Amino acid sequence: MFIGHFGAGLIGKKISPVTSLGTLFLASQFIDLLWPTFLLLGIEKVEIVPGITQLTPFDFSYYPFSHSLVAVVIWGLLLGCIHFIFKRDIKAFFLLALLVPSHWFLDLLVHRPDLPLSFSSDHYFGLGLWNFPIVAVTIEVTIFLLGIYFYTRITTPKNRIGTIGFWGLMIFLIFSYLGNFFSPPPPDTTTIAWVGQTQWLIIILAYWVDDHRQFRKQALLI
């Protein structure tokens, strides 16, 4: 899952309007931001196995430190605590602490059974909807569109950057998502890791775009 996670971040703006979209994206995609670094360091492993699922050729053979349920709960609490230290916003603390684990539960829908419960668990979970492309894509796109709906109802642009920048970012996410389906598999795992690092650009752009939008007061009535 890719844009579905960003959809969850967009929905988070409805819950905590004062929290930057960049922070919400950081939380919702946090473990997929850690994972490429863990790959480069040799802490976690992925293999390229064409045909392992209909939508992705990746065999996530070992990633308990970024993607086990225990790990994502810990990462969520850590991110929430760091944000609370600086912002003193208890609502944002709980939101971020939940957004990080939401990644695991959304992945649960589409992954084959490869999501571990803990760092040393022999039990793996996944409903495998990547083998049912129409269902998987429909769920993910629906979450993303709901996120756009809520975000545009809770915020309004301050200027043209707030409009063009936001929609440009959304289009970029959509094309990145489509690129996962139509581009050839990467040649090696190092390439996967470095491509994964480019997601930090999305986080930076989200902070920039959100800074050019403001809370829509009448949104309280929606």
Among 18-27, 92-101, 172-181, 210-219, where is mean pLDDT lowest? Answer: 210-219
Kindly report, residue by residue over 18-77, the tens digit of the pLDDT: 999 999 999 999 999 999 999 999 999 999 999 999 999 999 999 999 999 999 999 999
Whether this model's pTM surpasses 0.85:
yes
Q: How many domains does the chain have?
A: 1
CA distance 192 to 184: 12
Domain housing 210? 3-221
